[in-house]
């Protein structure tokens, strides 16, 4: 069973709709025991990092998430809170991915970064059969720095990690559930990771 973690920060409708289109059964919950017994977990997120971490803590999910050994996918804020820390609200995060999350910077850019952008230097199972330079949908003001766990990058002002992988943890700064056929392929790839 796929579990979508509900910690009060996710756009659950579009993610649920994507899983329905893929005929993938799922449950939405914040129950630690159900999360532990899942086959894979998705940590969505829309909003602000310090609030997201507060909600994760209030739900008693910090250690639950850190100790998962099944495939876990963090999306947008869901990926950012898997990182070491975030400039947004000066927040210590779950420290599964090594980079810090920093505000987008660059001359002449508008923040938030909202719309379609390209992803490059694709690596790993998440991007099987996804084209280099594919267009995916972003909406964010902060992003992880590049690091040795980056499995794709994107440029908006500076170059940032648009996805990360560390062991069984995966993360995307873009929203695959809002990224059309390519995004659906990425979700399907995650669902098929052994």
Checking 146-149 for CB contacts under 8 A at 24+ apart, the result is: 146/99, 147/97, 147/98, 147/99, 148/98, 149/97, 149/98, 149/99
Question: What region, left, alpha or beta, does residue 121 occupy, with left being phi > 0 and alpha being psi -120 to 50 degrees?
Answer: left
Mean pLDDT on 25-30: 96
pLDDT value of position 47:
87
Contact status, residue 138 vs residue 115, Cβ threshold 8 Å: yes
Mean pLDDT on 131-141: 98
pTM for the structure as a whole: 0.96
Instruction: Say which range, 12-16, 93-97, 126-130, 136-140, has the weakest mean pLDDT.
Output: 12-16
Contact status, residue 94 vs residue 66, Cβ threshold 8 Å: yes
What is the distance between the alpha carbons of residues 66 and 130, in angstroms, rounded to a whole number?
Answer: 29
Res 11 pLDDT > 80: no
**Mean pLDDT over all residues of the chain?**
96
Mean pLDDT on 12-36: 95
The helix (run of H) or strand (run of E) holding residue 19 is: helix 12-21
pLDDT value of position 194:
85
Confidence of residue 70 (pLDDT cuts 50, 70, 90): very high
Res 102 pLDDT > 90: yes
Mean pLDDT on 139-160: 98
Mean pLDDT on 90-116: 97
CATH, range 2-191: 3.40.50.880
pLDDT value of position 121:
98
Contact status, residue 85 vs residue 97, Cβ threshold 8 Å: no
Residue position matching structure tokens 């947008």: 76
More confident residue, 59 or 46: 59
Query: Hey, which residues are catalytic here?
Result: 76, 175, 177
Q: Domain extents for the chain? A: 2-191
């Amino acid at each position: 069973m796929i579990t979508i973690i509900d910690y009060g920060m996710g756009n659950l409708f579009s993610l649920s709709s994507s899983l329905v289109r893929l005929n993938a059964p799922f449950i939405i919950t914040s129950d630690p025991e159900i999360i532990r017994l899942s086959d894979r977990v998705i940590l969505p997120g829309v909003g602000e990092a310090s609030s997201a971490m507060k909600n994760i803590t209030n739900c008693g999910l910090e250690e639950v998430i850190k100790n998962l050994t099944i495939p876990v996918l963090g999306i947008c804020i869901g990926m950012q809170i898997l990182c070491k820390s975030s400039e947004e609200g000066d927040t210590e995060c779950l420290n599964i991915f090594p980079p810090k999350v920093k505000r987008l910077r660059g001359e002449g850019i508008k923040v938030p970064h909202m719309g379609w952008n390209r992803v490059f230097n694709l690596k790993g199972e998440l991007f099987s059969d996804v084209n280099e330079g594919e267009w995916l949908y972003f909406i964010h003001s902060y992003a992880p720095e590049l690091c040795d766990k980056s499995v794709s990058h994107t440029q908006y002002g500076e170059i940032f990690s648009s996805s990360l992988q560390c062991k069984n943890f995966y993360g995307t700064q873009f929203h695959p559930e809002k990224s059309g056929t390519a995004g659906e392929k990425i979700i399907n790839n995650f669902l098929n990771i052994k």
